[in-house]
Amino acid sequence: MLYSTPLPYRADASAYFAAIRDLAWPAWLDGGGGGRYDILVADPAVTAEIRGERTEIRDASGVRYSNGDPFDVVRELLGEAILPMPDIPFAGGALGYWGYDLARRYAHLPAVASDAEHLPEMAVGIYDWAIIVDHQELNARLVSRLRYAGTERVLEQVLEKLRKSAPAARKGESFCVRGEVVSNFTSATYQNAFSAVRNYLHDGDCYQVNLAQRFSAKATGDAFPAYLELRRSSPAPYSAFLDWPHAQVLCASPERFLRVRQGRVQTRPIKGTRPRGADAAEDARLAEDLRQHPKDRAENLMIVDLLRNDLGKSCVPGSVQATKLFEVESYANVHHLVSTIEGGLRNGKSALDLLRDCFPGGSITGAPKLRAMEIIEQLEPHRRGIYCGVIGYVGHDGNMDTNIAIRTLVHSGGEIRCWAGGGIVADSTCAAEYQETRDKASAMLELLRRFGGEFGKNG
């Protein structure tokens, strides 16, 4: 059974999100930067959070725990699959994040980097309704599959909130970044890490390693206004804002990780970056240089091959194809080199199987994946947490869409953090790679500056 009620179309769905923010676990998968859909949810029927080996599951009956495989836990909570609905990407299911460090459940990684995140490695809600804003058809709907008792009553409350001319303002402290924004790498320590990667490459340990630096600052208050500023200054098709008890996550990701639609699989890895130019001529020159540069094309192709192999674990043999190679996509601050790989999901395999088989994304690890992750753990001072994991949904209908959680800020524990990285290959230069991380971080660092952040020699 599908519940569907039309709503006024809004090109900017922020007012809809503001209207439901007082409910538990609100989340906004934001396609306003070029994506087709906005998906807004709150008040999950069940929540699941993983810390280490244990999953805490909360629902109306109380709390229980599981030591099972995280993806199997989500599969159990989703229940029996149902048929998808045309033009409705999500009418209920699992929505949340699967953090980079969830990979420790499946890969024997050393424990070297400091865990300064103190967050669940996975946090998802099982939601029974969603607001869907379709920017292609210019319509909006409140939808549900009514799988839980009490959802009809909740839908009446949600409609009442949405019909109000203005949502009630949330009480609380205004968002403020306090003091200096600091990187976990100095230029000297980055050089040392870069040199170590180059040695591994030359010794044949790996072909590519994604090395990231982390920026952090003290912060207080509600980060929703900062997210609205981020989406204005850096619109991206796979953005998200999660406003959850343990963290606020502000994401402006340009990269799709995995999408499943009625058995068809797509991934769109990014590898290769240039800054935007100061004028139209310089901008066009930089974009063309990215499109044609042998190093960037080779780097991109390495990840295409890695992802083709990952998709092959869950897809029909022979169906996995790179349908587009080396396309340049332009965003507010950077140009990216993007390829598209597609395949057909094998009978007996689900979207969750695919996600587990491909996790984490190869574009943010390097190749071979496991060896690159071991080197990352050795050389990056802090664990990545949510960064370089995925944010998205797996519906009751078996469809899925997830991003790679890059261009992402995490506000928790009185601090806000963001990251930027780049793939290092044999002919990389330290200065260029370091600058690439700064180019990728520029919009996030400017956001922190606007909200009070100070920058010294290590910011």
Active site residue 255: yes
Full DSSP string of 394-415: EETTS-EEEE---SEEEEETTE
Cis peptide leading into residue 120 (ω within 30°): no
CATH code of the domain containing 304: 3.60.120.10
d(CA 142, CA 304): 38
Q: State both tokens at 103.
A: 């990979």
The residue from 255, 299, 377, 433 that is catalytic is 255
Predicted confidence at residue 345, as pLDDT, reads 97
Active site residue 80: no
Predicted confidence at residue 1, as pLDDT, reads 75
Residue 393 host element (H or E): strand 390-395
Full DSSP string of 150-189: THHHHHHHHHHHHHSSSPPPPPSPBPEEEEEEEES--HHH
Q: What are the residue ranges of helices labelled H in 173-318? A: 187-202, 224-233, 280-292, 294-312
d(CA 188, CA 171): 44
Structural domain span for residue 199: 3-168+176-455
Q: How many CB atoms lie within 10 A of CB 411?
A: 24
Cis peptide leading into residue 89 (ω within 30°): no
Residue 441 host element (H or E): helix 430-450
Q: If you search the block for the tokens 């709390």, which residue do you land on?
A: 63
Pairing of strands 37-41, 27-30: antiparallel
Asked whether 269 and 307 are in contact (CB, 8 A), the reply is yes
DSSP letter at 24 equals S
Predicted confidence at residue 399, as pLDDT, reads 97
Q: What is the pTM of this model?
A: 0.95
Predicted confidence at residue 458, as pLDDT, reads 59
Buried/exposed 151-189: b ≥16 CB within 10 Å, e otherwise: beebbeebeebbeeeebeeeeeeebebbeebbbbbeeee
Asked whether 24 and 44 are in contact (CB, 8 A), the reply is yes
| AA identity, residue 140 | A
Predicted confidence at residue 67, as pLDDT, reads 95
Predicted confidence at residue 85, as pLDDT, reads 85
| AA identity, residue 252 | A
Q: Phi first, then psi: what are they for 296, rounded to 5°?
A: -65, -40
pLDDT tens, the chain, 459 aa long: 789 999 999 999 999 999 999 999 999 999 988 899 999 999 999 999 999 999 999 999 999 999 999 999 999 999 998 988 888 999 999 999 999 999 999 998 999 999 999 999 999 999 999 999 999 999 999 999 999 999 999 999 999 999 886 666 666 779 999 999 999 999 999 999 999 999 999 999 999 999 999 999 999 999 999 999 999 999 999 999 999 999 999 999 999 999 999 999 999 999 988 999 999 999 999 999 999 999 899 989 999 999 999 999 999 999 999 999 999 999 888 899 999 999 999 999 999 999 999 999 999 999 999 999 999 999 999 999 999 999 999 999 999 999 999 999 999 999 999 999 999 999 999 999 999 999 899 999 999 999 999 997 655
Q: What are the angstrom distances between the C-alpha of 105 and each of 50, 53, 317, 363?
A: 11, 8, 27, 20
Specify burial of residue 339 (Cβ count, 10 A radius: 0-12, 13-18, 19+).
buried
Query: Looking at the 3D structure of the chain, how many domains does it have?
Result: 1
Predicted confidence at residue 309, as pLDDT, reads 95
Predicted confidence at residue 86, as pLDDT, reads 84
Estimate the share of the chain in helix, then strand, then coil, as percent rounded to the nearest 5: 30, 35, 35
d(CA 252, CA 241): 9
The residue from 229, 271, 299, 369 that is catalytic is 271
